[in-house]
Structure 1
């Protein structure tokens, strides 16, 4: 009762302010304003579910149009129906709707700050229809939350420091266990998700790569490219086959329902949860208000880095400022709304990727304060999902994992004054060196895929973090060391001698796969080392990772990894990112896995495919475990 009175009172107060400041709106008395607030609340309760269904059925165009005008139509109707309130047409109501939603969002943010149950109550209220319609089952479902880019060492430190209190509570209570798994080269989201969701990580040699046979640059967060890669990965029996749901992933895992999933971007209509979130005037507007606040916070934190002389650091451009607000607030809230609806519907398996930590860590650094603050926000999401699970029509097991970690360091261009592709251009003496844009975030706003240029350039450089694939594009197949030295005699010697290069992988016609360093080489077929081992600093999995990578389709003629400084754990990204992943060195290969205690216990987990098999077997065994628990 108190919540109803508060809602009516807040609505009347906000509506009174709006009527007082928006031209074209008039009220005869305060009672008329209060009556209009009650009428507006009633219209919203009755009509908004119908409007959500209509807009979602019309597709994304309908949802966007509904986002713009739905609340304005309700406000206009309420003002027209209420005696003593006068509105001069639709447009005053339109501006009143947006202003009112913004004011309400600000007030609610102040009132509910520090109340973790507020988000849960809202989500349960929005999804209350499912509590009556969906039958109860005792067979547990599985919710898998991916914290993109979080390394296992940093996760353990954040738990101890209090940045991940929900995860810490689970571990202390004994309901979950934390383990580490090795993300094989390349430790990137597309490669790891191809493994986690489809068991086919070998289809992805990097975040971006060049395919000589078609002259096509594949960038895995372009919808058409991710769909192409998924077609190569999928056998119809992925992790989410059999009624599962994919949310905000690169690939679908053969889910029956894919929402905000890159590989299905052109095929799926917006779900009711997506439409409902976008058409909720206070849910979306609250997110927009907080998004603006996040961008302001980013500007202040970037300035603080500059003033304090924090190193390494990078210029955090305007496009990233907006992107941080979108990923750290808007997309996080949207994911939470979608997950809550799917759980209340009783979906058997749900997998969702939260990218906000990874995005901030790329630009600020993996362990910087703003990055850790984003982890606190994701941990709050876990707490909310735990509460929603308690009200769902089936029990849920919560699994938390990451796809890779991140390694920090000043970039190659910062250290040496020139981009990596410029070094390749100088060593080859060729003006025909193509280096596609190496900032993966740029492509999130550019879903359309350009057609490949006619003909093949002489050299293509595709950088992903501190890994670069170099292709002699006019030579068919995998160019050998002997061919490369004949065509560009300075290239290999120049790369291996450069202080920013840790090693180069190349295939020799006579010796097979070779790893070349400044002071030695390693033959991978028998691990024979001449001089100093170029992989000595890169950990126990480096040789096996490179043997595997040498066998992948469309890998580079040269696979170049940046320097790695064991004393500081720093690498030198070939793109302009302070925190990076994609190559070897540091924590980028040390991924996280948090499992329910009763699940199958992993041994050493090498690669995302091994994690896929573990998750798949645990999910398939769950009905038997559930039956065994019954009295």
Structure 2
């Protein structure tokens, strides 16, 4: 017994010596001295500027200000750990509120304790503290020349703290202050750059504007290839496929369900939760201990952070959330820089107007809030990724939306959008460098869910919205049209909300629109539609802004255009083929889409310019996606060069799901099970009579 105690004491002494040597390591000491000097200079300059700006503050010498700098440092050292504990305990919205106030509280206490009493009264002291915090954020950003160095340093500090805490919980040394060694077990980090098409990314790399991805490709560590999204080309459909292997559960970004009378919007948390119940079989891409961050759906992840279908802010266990909120280089910095984003956006929109740049749309209103919000979300997501990498999550999947939000309103290849892409590339560089602090040896895969296509909107080009055009072709509402068949009358009609949904409902997603005859149950064919609204199909097909109208007939779906038709089942064309402007995959895409759940009675896709590949969105967006035409279906994936691609040309998000699952299996992070084939009704036949390969598989 005594021998065991002596052994334990000896081990503890050795560990203590190791920790002390690490504490006194000259490099570590030098890094700390640099950080202290930088913080001291920043605080001195900020306080000097703040006191100079405050009215009625009497002049004091430099020594008084230096004393206040020391006081701020001492108060911060005492209060910040307490505030971080409070932020962690509150979690969610409480963390956001306290995160905003944390830096102000430190400055208020320091100013109140200032022996020179240059400021007095809570309103004055509070305003001065807020001004000092804002000036500090701006000054730090200027010192870093717009780089992410400070953010990187804070993230590393967070990761080291998490790993040391885990080591102590696992029985590690109490005094071990060394930098934790990088993990050796494999891990996978998948970063989704929302809306970035393969042509845009390739062009940006060739231009030298993406140093991180460019270095990966030029040195041969990674390779880039395109993958075809199919129809619909939207984030929810792509993530339903990538994360769950079930993309055909989603016919568009928005759709109507006749059986319930419900309009589904896939980025609405309540609807996303319902959709995920349909997608999930418990074996999504992230089901074996994975983490979902900022996605539409969870992929059956063990941990979900800012995932729409789970509709909750990170809780108390998410230390990355708390650390970001409480850090002076986190939420406060993001808020200040967010104001700068709003000013930048106003300036860029004004330049577009002055230069008469076309096409363009209004960039005011809600978009002014979306732009800084997307930047804030990006920084939060990276902090959450850093935390999960420190904890050793086997696979992390995160969606970064900055580029997509700006490209919708500015255009996918405009300078504003490209600057957002450059900032995302910098964040990839941050994540790469954070890998040295991670508990696993993470490999990085970068992919997109769709691209974007540019063009003036349908309303701008033709002076009316698609809803107005549909109203013209369906007027008058023929309530006395031929009676509904007996079997249809027996079907329970949905309990429509108030006000009642229009009898002809147009639901748009980019340049894709689904049209529903809401007073008639089930999906209607051409004969029934013509009987109710005789001008609707031909009127839409002949509209100059419409490229395709797809409707079901007795022998399968047919795509009608302004001068011809294309029977999708066997490829029979009459007149001019309306599918030609949409590329060689259009027929397959449309056929697969026709088998999606809750697809409209009519499917409408806007015309595409054969010269510029521009499309006309049915929404007021200069950059759009959701349908066909242009680059919106041309997504990309950047992956380690030695990893084989076994899923052919990666046609559709379900194929990408299978490929990612195979890579996880190669890394030993996923158990491979036999693929389960999901039944598909009425498989179409091609011209040779062979069943088209449209089966929907969901595998392990």
Q: Work out whether residues 229 and 635 of structure 2, in 8 Å CA contact, stay in contact via their aligned partners in 1.
A: yes
- CA shift, 1:26, in A, is 7.9
Determine the C-alpha separation between the residues in 1 that align with 2:370 and 2:272: 21
Distance 1:104 1:268, change over 3 A: closer
Q: Please state if 1:312 is matched with 2:359.
A: yes
Q: CA deviation at 1:80?
A: 4.4
Question: Which digits, 9 at most, give the CA deviation of each residue in 1:395-416, with x for residues without a partner?
Answer: 1101100000111111111110
Tell me, which stretches of 5 or more residues in structure 2 are unaligned?
1-32, 168-181, 480-495, 671-700
Could you say which residue in structure 2 is the equivalent of 1:424? 470
Return the offset for 1:369.
Answer: 1.0
Alpha-carbon separation, structure 2, partners of 1:496 and 1:484: 14
- Check the 8 A contact 2:261/2:497 in 1, yes or no: yes
Q: In the aligned structure 1, how far is the partner of 2:420 from the partner of 2:183?
A: 35
Residue matched to 2:250:
204
**DSSP 3-state at the match of 1:587:** coil
Matched, 1:398 2:444: yes
Q: Shift of residue 140 of structure 1?
A: 1.6
Residue aligned with 1:77, SS: helix
Q: Secondary structure of 2:233's partner?
A: coil
Distance in 2 of aligned mates of 1:104 and 1:250: 35
1:181-232 CA-partner distances (Å, limit 9, x unpaired): 1101000001001111111111110000001111111111111111111111
Of stretches 33-42 and 19-28 in structure 1, the one that deviates more from structure 2 is 19-28
User: How far has the Cα of 1:391 moved from its partner?
Assistant: 2.2
| Match in the other structure for 1:289 | 336
Q: Compared with structure 1, are the counterparts of its residues 87 and 421 closer, same or farther at alpha carbon in structure 2 (3 Å cutoff)?
A: same
Residue 237 of structure 2 is matched in structure 1 by: 191
State the match for 1:280 in structure 2.
327
Q: 1:610 to 1:162 in 2, by over 3 A?
A: same
Comparing 5-14 with 614-623, greater Cα deviation is found at 5-14
**1: CA distance between counterparts of 2:96 and 2:202?**
41
1-structure distance, mates of 2:396, 2:231: 26
Cα displacement (A) at 1:19: 4.2
The 2-side partners of 1:340 and 1:144 are apart by 13
Aligned position for 2:10: none
Give me the whole-angstrom Cα distance separating, in 2, the residues matched to 1:26 and 1:239. 63
Contact 1:405 1:588 in 2 (8 A): yes
Could you give the per-residue CA deviations for residues 317-342 of structure 1, whole angstroms, max 9, x where no partner exists? 23213322322x32222222222222
Q: Map 1:25-424 to 2 at 5 A.
A: 30-81=62-113, 83-85=115-117, 88=120, 90-113=122-145, 115=147, 117-134=149-166, 137-266=183-312, 269=315, 271-327=318-374, 329-424=375-470
Residue 25 of structure 1: how far off its partner (Å) = 7.8
Give CA deviations for 1:350-374 in whole Å, capped at 9, x if unaligned.
1111111111111111111111111
Question: What's the CA shift for 1:83?
Answer: 4.1
Any idea what SS the aligned residue of 2:73 has? helix
* Distance 1:56-1:594 versus aligned 2 partners, 3 A rule: same
SS in 2 for 1:350: strand
- Deviation of the 1:74 alpha carbon: 2.4
Once residues 58 and 286 of structure 2 are traced to their aligned partners in structure 1, the CA distance between those partners, rounded to angstroms, is 54
Contact 1:215 1:453 in 2 (8 A): no
Distance 1:267 1:5 in 2: 36
By how many angstroms is 1:468 displaced? 0.4
Structure 1's 114 and 552: CA in aligned 2 closer, same or farther, altered over 3 A?
A: closer
Partner SS state of residue 615, structure 1: helix
Contact 1:198 1:233 in 2 (8 A): yes
* CA distance, structure 1, for counterparts of residue 286 and residue 398 of structure 2: 11
What's the CA shift for 1:90?
A: 4.2
In the alignment, the residues of structure 1 paired with residue 355 and residue 223 of structure 2 have an alpha-carbon distance, to the nearest angstrom, of 39
Q: Distance in 1 between matches of 2:315 and 2:166?
A: 23
Q: 2:631 aligns with which of 566, 587, 590?
A: 587
| 1:518 corresponds to 2:562 | yes
Cα distance in 1, alignment partners of residues 346 and 500 from structure 2: 44
1:534 and 1:26 map into 2 onto residues whose CA distance is 78
TM superposition score normalised by structure 2: 0.82
Q: Which residue of structure 2 lines up, in the alignment, with residue 444 of structure 1?
A: none
Match of 1:471 among 491, 495, 516: 516
**Mean CA deviation greater in 568-577 or 115-124:** 115-124
- Per-residue deviation at 1:52? 2.6
Match status 1:611 vs 2:643 = no
SS in 2 for 1:54: helix
* Residues 1:421 and 1:498: Cα distance change in structure 2 (over 3 Å): same
Deviation of 1:489 after TM superposition, in Å, equals 0.3
Contact 1:33–1:85 (8 Å) recurs in 2 = no
Whether the aligned pair in 2 keeps the contact of 1:72 and 1:93 (CA below 8 Å) is no
Tell me if structure 1 keeps the 8 A contact 2:154–2:329. Answer: no
Q: Answer with 1 or 2: which has the greater Rg.
A: 2
Q: Which moved more, 1:464-473 or 1:303-312?
A: 303-312
| Shift of residue 388, structure 1, vs aligned partner | 0.7
Structure 1 stretch displaced more, 565-574 or 241-250: 241-250
Q: 1:253 to 1:49 in 2, by over 3 A?
A: farther
Greater displacement, 349-358 / 78-87: 78-87
Rounded to whole Å, the distance in 1 between the matches of 2:202 and 2:433 is 24
Aligned residue pairs total: 606
Contact persistence 1:134–1:393 (CA under 8 A): no
User: Which shows bigger deviation, 247-256 or 271-280?
Assistant: 271-280
* CA deviation map 1:420-447 (0-9, x unaligned): 10000111015799xxxxxxxxxxxxxx
Segments of structure 1 that go 5 or more residues without pairing to the other structure are 434-450, 626-631
